[in-house]
Amino acid sequence: MKIKLDENLPDRLVTVFTGLGHDVDTVPAEQLTRPGRNALFERVSTVFQTEKVEDWTGCLVVATEQKIRIRRPEQRTER
């Protein structure tokens, strides 16, 4: 299985997963640039000015320089 580890996960998981036969990549290994505080301020300000953030109540939202991902809560019905 191919696995990409988020930068918030410990690097030692790479050894664990590769030892189990998985193909592991990490965000830091991709040498992505990290935006500075001013760039983060601008991105968050722009998102809140241009998107319908009131529709995001209860959602997990991840905004990057290129896109916005929204995970909405699952709709559950009682039986």
pLDDT tens digits, 14-70: 999 999 999 999 877 877 777 788 988 999 999 999 999 999 999 999 888 888 999
The reported pTM is 0.53
Q: State the pLDDT confidence band at 75, using cuts at 50, 70 and 90.
A: low
Running DSSP on this structure, what letter comes out for residue 25? E
What is the C-alpha radius of gyration for the chain, rounded to an integer number of angstroms?
A: 17
Judge whether 7 and 28 are in contact, CB under 8 Å: yes
pLDDT at position 50? 94
Residues 55, 73: Cα–Cα separation, whole Å? 12
